[in-house]
Amino acid sequence: MVSDSSSDHSHVAPPRRVALLTLGCARNEVDSEELAGRLHADGWDVTTDGEAADVVLVNTCGFVEKAKQDSIQTLMAAADTGAKVVAAGCMAERYGRELAGSLPEAHAVLGFDDYPEISERLGAVLNGERLAAHTPRDRRELLPITPVARRDTGVVVPGHALPKHLRRRRLAEGPVASLKLASGCDRRCSFCAIPSFRGSFVSRTPEELLAEAEWLAKNGVRELVLVSENSTSYGKDLGDPRLLEKLLPQLAAIEGIVRVRASYLQPAETRPGLVEVIATTPGVAPYFDLSFQHSSEPVLRRMRRFGSTERFLELLASARALAADAGARSNFIVGFPGETRGDVDELVRFLTEARLDAIGVFDYSDEDGTEAATMTGKVSRATIKRRYEKLLSLADELCAQRAEERLGSTVEVLVDTIDDGVVEGRAAHQAPEVDGSTTLVAGDGVDLAALRPGDLVRATVTATEGVDLVAVPVTMVSAAVTGVSGPVTG
């Protein structure tokens, strides 16, 4: 009997499908795109839709209590789809076996050391194998104390030194992408547990960053957002603590890139030279994302941080002396142990004088393994709640006032989205997702109907809505390249 050879292909297995769900910060988003690149290279069909996946990989956040709860809820919701569920990311790294024990819905809990073999790990889960849950450890102990001795140690650092044949795989459309400068942190802020599970500070080399930035630009990215736990430390382990000042103009000169934005600046390490480069370099957003956390000296000392209301105001003034319209944002913690009404008054004084474009307010809560969790002088939850609500209300009012100061000014807006004729973008002082946006409306200069995501236009601010601006485009500064969009891989 002659067999029908056409049937030989009927049993070819469809590609395994993995959904990557990302929680937390932009650094996690970059890590997810690294994982996506590895999985795609190994033949997985990578998506962000958990409904039709064989495996749902949740890149969790372990920063504060609310973020941890969001991670748990996402894991439980993923289990309801019937897919295998795997936890990775910061919460998984931080809690490991404890998370696995309390969340039987997760088929595996992986740590950062599993990332290079992520395809094998997920394949094993699909095959019904039970993997031993990650065992947490203080990742600071994995690297030498001396920063310059941390190169080529073989320690896994997410987002660093991918094999030459691999690139991250973009999981979102749009003209903006984060570029990870470094991982980890050497500071010992008393409220923060991040260094214990992210490890000591490690920079990526300029060559690696420039190559990835060029690849992103070729795939339609127009704005690079530089992320890390502490961008002002960039280069100290490479023997040059001023390396960021040299890297920023190089990134801005890449063909197709119209804006480079530095984020996560540590005030105590923000040198005058870096302020000047950010404020005056063409193509670099005059934008200062400064991690103040408080402005009262006694509170800052207990936080193991440096600064004061006056020093912080001087730093902002030095930036505005070079770029009058420079953007500035920061986050603040209220209710830290030992915080008094006088400390709150001092913070209010700073916020009132600082003219920040965006203000994040967090209510203090104890974090496992931090020095602050063991401090005396705890502020009652009722008092923290009252102070938090006061500061939040003040922040909203002050940021709206700052936006109103921009009425009549000229801003350069990068178009992000166009939805039912509504054109949304961001001015140089508006970082993605956290600082508000600018809506472009019709005028005499530029045809709104001709605009596309990725276009950079010069516009006049005509109205404000809270922190958001409304502006009329006047001229096209740089048009987006046609035919490049969507998730891509190198």
Residue with tokens 């000392």: 301
* Residue (of 170, 273, 272, 263) closest to 215 by Cα position: 170
Please enumerate in sequence order all residues whose Cβ is within 8 A of that of 130, keeping only pairs 6 or more positions apart, or say none.
Answer: 107, 108
With contact defined as beta carbons under 8 Å apart, do 86 and 125 qualify? yes
486 vs 490: CA distance, rounded Å:
13
Long-range contacts of 379-388 (CB under 8 A, 24+ apart): 379/335, 379/336, 379/337, 379/338, 379/339, 383/335, 384/334, 384/335, 387/334, 387/335, 387/339, 387/344, 387/363, 388/334, 388/335, 388/361, 388/362, 388/363
d(CA 480, CA 158): 31
Nearest to 174 by CA among 460, 426, 343, 377: 426
| Separation between Cα atoms, residue 337 and residue 402, nearest integer Å | 31
Element (H, E) at 56: strand 55-60
Q: Sheet containing 287-289: which strands, arranged edge to edge?
A: 287-289, 327-334, 358-363
DSSP 8-state secondary structure symbol assigned to residue 64: S
How far apart CA 282 and CA 285 sit, in angstroms, is: 8
Total Cβ atoms within 10 A of residue 102: 10
Radius of gyration of the chain (CA): 24
Q: Is 61 annotated as a binding residue?
A: yes
Report helix angle 309-322 to 341-354, nearest 10: 10
Task: Find all residues with CB under 8 Å of 3, minimum gap 6, and list them.
Answer: none
Q: Torsion angle of alpha carbons 357, 363, 367, 373, nearest 10°?
A: 120
**Residue 116: exposed, middle, or buried by beta-carbon count in 10 A (0-12, 13-18, 19+)?**
middle
Sequence-distant (≥ 6) Cβ neighbours of residue 408 within 8 angstroms: 460, 461
399 is in an annotated binding site: no
- The token pair at 466 is 């809270």
Beta strands 202-203; 410-419: pairing state: unpaired
Q: Are 420 and 186 in contact (CB under 8 A)?
A: no
**Binding residue numbers:** 25, 61, 90, 185, 189, 192
**Binding residue numbers for [4Fe-4S] cluster:** 25, 61, 90, 185, 189, 192
